[in-house]
Amino acid sequence: MVTARTKRIFKPLLHAPLDSPFPVGALEDVLDYESGGREEIVVADKVTGASELGATQLVVEHDANGNPNLRSKSGAIGANVDPLTPLGALWGAQYVYQRAMERFTEEMLRLKLIVPSIAQVAAWTALMQFQHSIGTARGGFRVLMSRGVARGLRHPIVILDFFARKEMPPKIGRQSPELVRLRIQRLLNLPMRAALLAPMPTTIHPLPERPEGIPVFDARKAKRFIRAERARVAAGRPRKPDGSPL
């Protein structure tokens, strides 16, 4: 089940061209888990050089004063969307998922892994979410896949299942082995949860052309929200019901 807020604000928008490549049901699940459908929520106290903005928690890289790095190729800046709006959050998320598919495909080819076909929807659903849950191709993904290869495994989902049920995964960044395992287990269960929310497609469809009306990235607005959220955390104030720090 997803929150009434997610259903009211985001579900009506989840149709072409905002429904690919990440399946609609999976995106609903992520929306609810990450933000509860709160479009102005910000997480700005975890990492000095980046924050997560909006309902789909798109990364915004910035300096210590909250000034966005406009040369960034990732997250909201790479997608050129305002993540604090519903349309920007959804289009930006699908852009990031498409980039994750491309990067993970390159990494799997480099490691001589079996690359799932676009008909393996469940596999790609879990793998696309990996970049947000555990790490990018150059981070967590490479670490786990390389360890799987060293153990004679060749399919990325088989490797994830191996670390979910058999061998404890390594520490990745600030994530403990126990946390990494829990996140892997959630990734592997994502397709099942998604199918309960919306019919799963038979293939992964590529990102369509960007539609008109998607709000572009607003550096001044993003900085205002990032600084406001850091001030809220520093002062120990609770979040507002809508998640906005302003």
Is the pLDDT score of 195 beyond 90? Answer: yes
Is the pLDDT score of 127 beyond 90? Answer: yes
220-242 per-position pLDDT tens digit:
999 999 999 999 999 999 999 99
> Which residues are 69's β-sheet partners?
none
Structure tokens given for 136? 């990018």
Is the pLDDT score of 48 beyond 90? Answer: no
197-223 per-position pLDDT tens digit:
999 999 999 999 999 999 999 999 999
**What are the structural domain ranges in the chain?**
4-39+85-215
- Alpha-carbon distance of 21 to 6, in angstroms, equals 20
Do the beta carbons of residue 169 and residue 181 sit within 8 Å? yes
Q: Is the pTM of this model over 0.75?
A: yes
66: left (phi over 0), alpha (psi -120 to 50) or beta: left
> Which residues are 42's β-sheet partners?
53
Structure tokens given for 207? 């990102």
pLDDT of residue 137: 59
Split at pLDDT 50, 70, 90, the class of 122 is very high
